[in-house]
Amino acid sequence: MLSNDARMLRGSALAAGPVGVIAMVLSAVLAGGKGFVGGVVGVVIVFLFFGLGLAALARITRTNPQLAMMAALLVYAVQILLVGVFTVAFKHTSLFNGRAFGFTLLATALAWIGGQVYWTLKAKILYVDPEAAS
């Protein structure tokens, strides 16, 4: 993983971490033990899906930088699809509070995406290779 990719992953996690913790605490206060479990599951899903997606995108763009935009859109679409499938699959579960899960997942995912956008813009990645022969 390149240093820019690691910086984006770390920055995204640092943006989403505090939001996830606050959401878990609020879920526990408002919905009890099952709310806390729902919050934990929501945070784990975000970190798992979005972290693996960013790692996959870094690997794809390292070997084929021409595919960066297409790969980014594909990875994002797959992430959102998987989150949706997971949400629908556990819609009527009694293992955790569904509302706490949903709100925690949404807040943490938005914080992750915001952190990823911020660190992507801050990375100043060159789109032209200055060392390439002309």
pLDDT of residue 133: 57
The number of angstroms, rounded, from the C-alpha of 33 to the middle of its chain's C-alpha atoms is 25
Cα separation of the two ends of the chain: 28
The verdict on residue 116 lying in a domain is yes
The verdict on residue 127 lying in a domain is no
Q: Is pTM, for the whole model, over 0.85?
A: no
Q: 68 lies in which domain range?
A: 3-122
119, 114, 78, 2: CA torsion to nearest 10: 10
For the stretch 5-32, pLDDT in tens is 788 888 889 999 999 999 999 999 999 9
Mean pLDDT score, 90-104: 88
The verdict on residue 22 lying in a domain is yes
Residues 39/100, Cβ–Cβ less than 8 Å: yes
Which 8-state DSSP code applies to residue 65?
G
124: left (phi over 0), alpha (psi -120 to 50) or beta: left
The verdict on residue 40 lying in a domain is yes
The verdict on residue 17 lying in a domain is yes
Spell out a b/e string for 114-128, using b for 16 or more CB atoms within 10 Å of the CB, else e: ebbeebbeeeeeeee
The verdict on residue 113 lying in a domain is yes
Q: Which comes out higher in pLDDT, residue 89 or 126?
A: 89
The verdict on residue 99 lying in a domain is yes
The verdict on residue 128 lying in a domain is no
Q: How many domains does the chain have?
A: 1
What six digits make up the tokens of 99?
A: 């509302």
Give the C-alpha separation, 107 to 66, whole Å.
Answer: 32
